[in-house]
């Protein structure tokens, strides 16, 4: 390879920047040895001259692609498991998986991990740990435990199974959110059309006839006149939606705190979280990770600050030497009556020395309960949303229909 191409590849690797890490500033990455740069150059296709341009385009596509989905990671772990069971070395398995992966950011991570493991002598856990935007702490911890016991293939199998269970829970939750979100969007469009097009014309008619109107009708007409004079306010809904998506990480603790306080849906939310947490904890323990470290890794995966504090207290109690049956007291209090099976699994597993097995059984119980509860919630959401839509639209129609009947009587 020409020196210019090697320097160009080095620059590309260092310029793996704002788009990859989601920041607006450059991020300095360590430069590996020459073999790594040669591999990256071959993968990028930047050999010399004009081909360097295609390499830059390929690197830019890598940076612009979004984070890999759960399905992408699931396929990656399944592929690595199968290749390792066939006797393929880890670095070669990573490159073979790279070739069949569609997500560019995941391709970039796999190529880097393969080269760093093969050429720089990093352990699998260290190489995977250099890509926290793709592989979280729980994943890296299980890979580290698998390399210590020389059982990476079973480790990738457990990771794939855990992702399958997590994806099932997440998909059920998303299905329940799609219908209410669709109803709210349609209702917003209908109300916007009514107040922007229909109500202002009725307001002019009522004003010209000098009619005495009910208070509710006056409120509706005032809203219509305000929107007719300032039609740009209709963009407030979509703008707030976009703004909420942009600052979702800052708003998430408030939204989750409000969701926990809701009488029925709060319990459903806790049930979904507990099913995920028990599944993660069982997977980590089966991977050979110690209980207090596994609790810390579970806490890192949580978005809810209250739940994270409860698990942090449990981890601190375990590190101080408390018995597991007492260390989880803060977690039991957070989940309330839902933690009954979790508590029983911890007590029986601690006494029998097989906590991973008892937690695995508790995980299946919670997932079954979550599926049943999700079906019940789905049956409740539809009539509730239809009732709300009917009440809102019906109240507006009645508020505008009553003056029209008076006009009809006056004409007759």
pTM, to two decimals: 0.63
Whether residue 352 lies inside any domain: the answer is yes
Whether residue 91 lies inside any domain: the answer is no
Residues 255 and 384 in one domain: yes
- Report how far residue 100's alpha carbon sits from residue 11's, in angstroms, rounded to the nearest whole number: 26
Tell me the angle at which helices 265-286 and 248-261 cross, rounded to the nearest 10 degrees: 110
* C-beta separation of 119 from 35 below 8 A: yes
The secondary structure of 339-392 as a DSSP string is: GHHHHHHHHHHHHHT-HHHHHHHHHHHHHHHHHHHHHHHHHHHHHHHHHHHHHH
Of 64, 80, 105, which closes a domain? 64
- Report how far residue 292's alpha carbon sits from residue 321's, in angstroms, rounded to the nearest whole number: 10
Residues 169 and 22 in one domain: no
Of 64, 82, 108, which closes a domain? 64
Structure tokens at 301: 């995966």
Residues 158 and 58 in one domain: no
Position 48 confidence tier, pLDDT thresholds 50, 70, 90:
very low
Mean pLDDT of all residues in the chain?
A: 76
Whether residue 331 lies inside any domain: the answer is yes
Tens digit of pLDDT for each residue in 79-130?
998 999 998 888 888 888 887 887 777 877 887 788 778 777 788 888 888 8
Residues 266 and 412 in one domain: yes
Residues 364 and 225 in one domain: yes
* C-beta separation of 291 from 285 below 8 A: yes
Of 47, 64, 81, which closes a domain? 64
Whether residue 101 lies inside any domain: the answer is no
* C-beta separation of 213 from 403 below 8 A: yes
- Report how far residue 34's alpha carbon sits from residue 16's, in angstroms, rounded to the nearest whole number: 18
**How many other CB atoms are there within 10 angstroms of residue 228's CB atom?**
16
State the alpha helices, DSSP H only, in 301-354.
305-319, 324-327, 329-335, 340-352
Taking Cα atoms as reference points, which of 300, 78, 271, 279 lies closest to residue 172? 271
Tens digit of pLDDT for each residue in 202-217?
888 877 777 788 888 8
Residues 164 and 58 in one domain: no
Whether residue 117 lies inside any domain: the answer is no
- Report how far residue 79's alpha carbon sits from residue 74's, in angstroms, rounded to the nearest whole number: 9
Position 294 confidence tier, pLDDT thresholds 50, 70, 90:
confident
The CATH code of the domain that includes 383 is 1.20.81.30
Whether residue 142 lies inside any domain: the answer is no
Please count the structural domains in the chain. Answer: 2
Three-state DSSP at 276 gives helix
Residues 213 and 347 in one domain: yes
The Cα-based distances of 333 to 94, 326, 349 in angstroms read 43, 12, 20
* C-beta separation of 172 from 374 below 8 A: yes
Residues 47 and 191 in one domain: no
Residues 354 and 249 in one domain: yes
Whether residue 114 lies inside any domain: the answer is no
Answer whether residue 298 shows pLDDT above 80.
yes
* C-beta separation of 359 from 281 below 8 A: yes
Whether residue 116 lies inside any domain: the answer is no
For 267-305, letters b (16+ CB in 10 Å) and e give bbbbbbbbbbbbbbbbbbbbbbbebbbbbbbbbebbebe
Tens digit of pLDDT for each residue in 215-245?
888 888 888 888 888 888 888 878 887 777 7
Residues 158 and 271 in one domain: yes
Residues 392 and 248 in one domain: yes
* C-beta separation of 280 from 115 below 8 A: no
Domain boundaries, position 15: 3-64
Residues 187 and 308 in one domain: yes
């Amino acid at each position: 390879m020409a020196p210019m191409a090697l320097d160009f590849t080095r620059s590309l690797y260092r310029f793996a920047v704002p788009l990859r890490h989601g920041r607006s500033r450059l991020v300095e990455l360590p430069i590996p040895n020459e073999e790594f740069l040669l591999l990256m150059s071959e993968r990028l296709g930047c050999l010399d001259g004009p081909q360097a341009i295609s390499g830059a385009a390929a690197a830019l596509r890598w940076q612009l692609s979004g984070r890999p989905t759960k399905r992408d990671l699931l396929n990656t772990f399944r592929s690595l498991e199968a290749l390792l069971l066939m006797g393929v070395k880890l670095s070669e398995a990573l490159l073979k998986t790279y070739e069949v992966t569609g997500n560019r950011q995941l391709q970039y991570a796999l190529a880097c991990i393969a080269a760093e493991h093969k050429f720089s002598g990093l352990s699998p856990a260290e190489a995977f740990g250099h890509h926290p935007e793709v592989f979280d702490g729980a994943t890296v911890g299980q890979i580290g435990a698998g390399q210590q016991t020389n059982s990476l293939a079973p480790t990738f199998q457990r990771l794939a199974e855990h992702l399958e269970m997590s994806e099932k829970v997440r998909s059920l939750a998303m299905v329940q959110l799609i219908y209410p979100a669709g109803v709210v969007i349609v209702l917003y469009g209908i109300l916007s059309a009514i107040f922007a097009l229909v109500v202002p014309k009725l307001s002019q008619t009522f004003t010209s006839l000098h009619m005495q109107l009910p208070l509710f009708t006056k409120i509706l007409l005032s809203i219509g006149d305000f929107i007719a004079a300032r039609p740009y306010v209709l963009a407030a809904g979509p703008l707030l939606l976009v703004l909420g998506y942009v600052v979702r990480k800052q708003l998430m603790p408030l939204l989750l705190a409000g969701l926990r306080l809701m009488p029925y849906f709060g319990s459903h939310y806790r049930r979904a979280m507990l099913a995920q947490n028990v599944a993660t904890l069982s997977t980590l323990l089966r991977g050979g990770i110690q209980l207090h470290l596994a609790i810390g890794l579970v806490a890192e995966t949580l978005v809810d600050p209250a739940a994270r504090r409860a698990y942090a207290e449990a981890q601190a109690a375990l590190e101080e030497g408390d018995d597991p049956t007492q260390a989880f007291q803060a977690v039991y209090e957070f989940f309330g009556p839902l933690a009954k099976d979790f508590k029983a699994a911890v007590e029986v597993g601690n006494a029998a020395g097989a906590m991973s097995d008892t937690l695995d059984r508790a995980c299946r119980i919670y997932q079954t309960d979550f599926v049943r509860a999700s079906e019940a919630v789905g049956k409740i959401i539809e009539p509730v949303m239809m009732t709300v839509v009917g009440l809102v639209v019906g109240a507006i129609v009645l508020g505008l229909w009553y003056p029209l009947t008076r006009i009809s009587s006056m004409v007759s």
